[in-house]
């Protein structure tokens, strides 16, 4: 992989989103952000996104719906779904590559992002 991996972060929590962006950028990723599903999908269509970090609970269109839309565009895009809820419905979990809890810390986030990028295998 010659170029810098590009990550799309979608979360309605603006502050959390910005902080997450800084953490990922410090690790050397190129980060795009969107504060709702439709905006994220738009960016996903326009940019060569390698992985998506997606919040589950969002107004209007939740993480599950966004993941489904992204997978329709690119069926094997790696998606990390972040959730504050302890357990998500199984059908939602099956839509994404990995599910992680919010609040586990930056190291866990970076580890998970790395994991899903590697799992995509290309």
Partner 1 sequence: MTDSPVGLHEFNRVVRTTLLVPVTVLAVLAGLLVWQVEHALDLRQHSIVNTRVNDQLLTLQQRVTDQETSLRAYQLTGLPSQLVPYNSAAPEIEATLAQLRNLPAVSGISDAHVNKLEQDIRAWQSWANGVLAQPAPAPEAVTAALTQQGKSIMDGVHHDFQDTLTTAENERDRYDAKLNQRVSRFLQFVLILALASGIIIGIFASSRLQRVSSTYELALQELHERNARITASQQLLATTLESIGDAVISLSEQGKIRFMNAVAQKLTGWPLGAAADHPVGEVLRLMHPQTHQPMGDVLQDLDRSGGMGLHQEGTLIARDGAEYAVDVKVSTVMHADGRADGSVVVFRDVTELRKAEVTLIANEKLAVTGRLAASIAHEIHNPLDSVANLHFLISQETDPQRRSDYLKLAQQELGRTLQISRAMLSLYRESPMPVQVNLEELIGSVLLLLDRKMRDQNIQVEQSFTHPVHVYGFPGELRQVFTNLIANAGEAAGPNGSVRILVRPASPLDGRAGTIVEIADSGRGIAPHVEKKLFQPFMTTKGERGTGLGLWVSLGIVQKHGGTVRISNSTEGDLRGAVVRVYLPERSAQAKAEDEDHDAPLIAPPFESAEEWAFTSTPRAMS
In the bound complex, what is the minimum distance in angstroms from residue 25's beta carbon to partner 1? 10
Regarding 58 and contact with partner 1 (CB under 8 A), the answer is yes
Minimal distance, residue 78 CB to partner 1, in Å:
20
Give me the 17-36 binding string for partner 1, x by CB under 8 A, dash otherwise: --xx-xx--x----------
Q: Of 115 and 120, which CB lies nearer to partner 1 in the complex structure? A: 115
3-state secondary structure string across the chain: CCCCCEEEEECCCHHHHHHHHHHHHHCCCEEEEECCHHHHHHHHHHCCCCEEEEECCCCCCCHHHHHHHHHHHCCCCCEEEEECCCCCCHHHHCCCCEEEECCCCHHHHHHHHHHHHHHCCC
Establish if 89 lies at the interface with partner 1 (CB under 8 A). Answer: no
């Amino acid at each position: 992989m010659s170029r810098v991996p590009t990550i799309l972060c979608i979360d309605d929590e603006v502050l959390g989103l910005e902080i997450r962006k800084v953490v990922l950028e410090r690790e050397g990723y190129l980060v795009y952000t969107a504060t709702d599903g439709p905006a994220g999908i738009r960016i996903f269509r326009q940019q060569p996104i390698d992985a998506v970090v997606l919040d589950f609970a969002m107004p209007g269109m939740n993480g599950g719906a966004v993941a489904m839309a992204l997978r329709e565009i690119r069926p094997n895009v790696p998606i990390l779904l972040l959730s504050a809820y302890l357990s998500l419905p199984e059908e939602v979990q099956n839509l994404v590559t990995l599910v992680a809890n919010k609040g586990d810390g930056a190291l866990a986030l970076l580890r998970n992002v790395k994991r899903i990028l590697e799992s995509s295998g290309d």
